A and B are shown apart, each in its own frame.
Chain A
C-alpha cells in the first residue's frame, strides 16, 4: 500500500489489535516489509476510546488532527471504493459519501470483563481468561474484537499458523460459538 503512494505527503500508522502483544503481529509486519509505524493495542484501548466492535478500521485525519472519515469494520484498501476514497482524499483532500460508518457503543461491562480476562491471561490463567471473555461475548455477541481474541486463545492453530483460517471462523459463527 505504502509503495503505491510513494511521494504523497502522508503518514500511515498501523495499529495491531492483539491482546497477546507485539509477538503476534510482528511476523506479519516483517513479512510485509512494513516501512511505516506499527503500534500494538494489547489492552483493547482503542475500542474504548474510539468505539468499535470490529476491525479492520480506517480513520483519515487531516493536517490539523481532525477526523475527516472513519470506517469501523471492513476497511479494506483492496476494495475499489476504499481505494477511490483514500486516493481522492490524498490528492485533493476531498471525501465523499458516508463519512462515518460502524461506530458502536460498547457495553461497559464488556470492557470490564475483557480487562479482567486479559489480567488472567497474563497471569497464566488461560481458562480463567476464556471464561471472562466468553461471558463478555454472551453480553455482546456482535463484538468481534472480543470474540476473535477468545477464539485465538482457544484455537491458536487457526490464527497463528500459515494463514488465518477464515473458513473455520465462518463455521464457528454458523454454530453460534
Chain B
C-alpha cells in the first residue's frame, strides 16, 4: 500500500471531528463532487 494521496486513486480514508464534535467520514461524501480545503488559522 502506498502512502499519501494520488490523482486517479481513491481518496485516502480519514475521519475527523467537526467543530461541534460530530465525527465526519471523508468517504461519506460519495455521490457528489467534493472539494476538500485544508487551512489553518495561522
* Chain B associates with chain A: yes
Contacts from A to B (Cβ < 8 Å):
9-18, 22, 24-26, 28-29, 37-41, 45-46, 48-52, 55-70, 75, 77, 86, 89-90, 99-100, 103, 105, 145, 148-149, 151-152, 159-160, 164
Q: Judging by beta carbons under 8 Å apart, are B5 and A65 in contact?
A: no
| Interface size of B in residues (CB-CB distance below 8 Å) | 34
Q: Judging by beta carbons under 8 Å apart, are A39 and B18 in contact?
A: yes
Q: Judging by beta carbons under 8 Å apart, are B38 and A56 in contact?
A: yes
Q: Judging by beta carbons under 8 Å apart, are B33 and A63 in contact?
A: yes
Tally of A-B Cβ pairs under 8 angstroms: 162
Q: Judging by beta carbons under 8 Å apart, are B30 and A100 in contact?
A: no
Contacts from B to A (Cβ < 8 Å):
3-14, 16-19, 21, 24, 26-27, 29-42
Report the bound CA distance from A159 to B38 in whole Å: 17
